[in-house]
A = this chain, B = another copy of it.
Amino acid sequence: MDVATARTRPPLTRHRVLDAALRYIDAQGLAALSMHKLGADLGVKAMSLYNHVADKDDVLDGVVELLWTEIETAAPATGDWRAGYRAFGHALWDVISGHPNAGPLVCTRQIIPAAALRIIRDHIASATASGVHEQRAYALLRTISSFALGHVLVYLNWSPCSGRAPTVTDLLSSDLPAELVNVAENFCGQSNLQVEFELGLDLMLRGIAFPDGDVTSDVATAQPGHVDDKGPGGDNRRTC
């Protein structure tokens, strides 16, 4: 790479590096990413990247930032907090499944990007502004996030046509009894998980998760995402 071409090329920036990394992973898979190839993709030697990112871990963390930014722009908070929560879960599902190779990084890298905190903050604010008890607003958002995350991961890893595996049988070892293959097909193959996810999300927000319909009260009934009514005791291990 001589000096002339280096001049004509737009200068590298952290954002351009991360963006290229995300597109590379989307196209070639996570395992295929290397600093050399990423550099080559940008018309630059590997070591030049280190002027803009700390190391490869930093690149991967940066990709997660990018994904959260996508989620943030896809589901901004509005006046209607239920619609906002729903959009948030939906955006989580959509963005992660839209990047089948990079998406799992969101739940693999131990990092909480600012974009994640911003969108959480906004949706919480929207809910509390409508009178929802703050702790309950957090708990419900947490429950929705967990459900969306788990659901999309099951979808990505265990469903054919999700962009990662063409058929269910590709996920199984070849010498399996037909009976178990049948179980796999029933569990993974036939149903439309996207529809299933949306129905679950709808239900959660329509009040099923809060059967009395009064989400603004803070009475201590057992509800998903409500923990105030249970002390630190009990049978839970690994308490902080």
Contacts and interface: CB of A to CB of B under 8 A. Distances in A.
A183 B124 contact: yes
B192 A236 contact: yes
A179 B158 CA distance: 39
A36 B204 CA distance: 49
Contacts of A112: 158, 171-172, 184, 188
B111 A108 contact: no
A22 to B, nearest CB: 18
Interface residues of A, number: 80
Contact of A145 (B104, B154, B171, B238): B154
A157 interface: yes
A34 interface: no
A211 interface: yes
B199 A223 contact: yes
5 contacts: A138-B187, A139-B191, A145-B150, A149-B150, A150-B150
Interface of A: 97, 104, 107-114, 117-118, 120-121, 124, 134-135, 138-139, 141-143, 145-151, 153-154, 157-165, 171-173, 176, 179-180, 183-184, 186-188, 191-196, 198-200, 202-204, 208-209, 211, 222-227, 230, 232, 234, 236-240
